Amino acid sequence: MEENKINYNDEPVFYCEHCLSLLVMCDAPIDYCANCSSTEINSCTLKEYDELYKKRFGVKFFYKD
């Protein structure tokens, strides 16, 4: 019997393009960042987010080298 495994690394994460926060509020008529109140929300995979984070802050957030 095969188990149905979910690869959460392939699931999209939503982040603020302004501050790269993952704290996105989706309960309002428009999605916004709870950190800086920006409405510039985007999505990508965890690995793609990690590369964006590294470019901005110099270290990876999830995947350590």
pLDDT at site 2: 58
Provide the Cα torsion 37, 43, 48, 11; round to 10°: 130
- Tokens 């800086």 — which residue? 36
Q: CB–CB of 15/24 below 8 Å?
A: yes
Torsion-angle region of residue 26: left (phi > 0), alpha (psi -120 to 50) or beta?
Answer: alpha
**pTM, full prediction:** 0.82
Task: Print pLDDT tens along the chain (65 aa).
Answer: 557 887 887 889 999 999 999 999 988 789 999 999 999 999 999 989 999 999 999 998 887 76
